[in-house]
Structure 1
């Protein structure tokens, strides 16, 4: 079996670079041998004769996997968005807990205020509103 021509080897290397960089011209960009030979514009048999290029292809896939650059970027972005969502969800949970605690305190203070007003009124006292005095000091 003869080795692939230098032109075919170069076409395969160029196609491999485009696929690795996520900028295919003739395929969907997935890291498959079918896409490699189609991207290069050569036959599968010609690709298989380019043993050096095929060894480089296999070594690259062994090291980097079959994900394209775009897929890796997408996955990294998804991971970052999931991290941010988790942090915001925790923040919302903490704020909800603080809001519920504040509502409980406000309710208790309102109840105490009403009880104190009733107590003062039952002894004949008068409760003076602070609203009129607040405006004078502002």
Structure 2
């Protein structure tokens, strides 16, 4: 097997770390050589030339498979701990938004009630004086100067 260039080896080592840590950037995270190559951004042939690195990867994958439930439980706990403050902040933000929207609805409801009262008053005034005729006002056109 031919030696790898330093860039390829560094990319493969970084990819091994990401895959084993469960934080893939380019793949579904399955611990396969094909995913390792994709994750590193190198060809499968380049990955296959990294014999020692592949042996380390396969050994780590085997250890990972054996300890998987423990690793996954730890990862779940860590993610839940990260989410707790985010959820709390989101909930507080949503509660504040709900209060603001409720206040807007209340104001709009009062404005509608006031408008309806004015309309009813005007209708009553029209009904009391049947001889009154309503003449619509014309809006001045934009062309006329005022």
TM-score (norm 2): 0.45
Q: Which has the higher contact order (CA 8 A, sep 6+)?
A: 1
TM-score (norm 1): 0.48
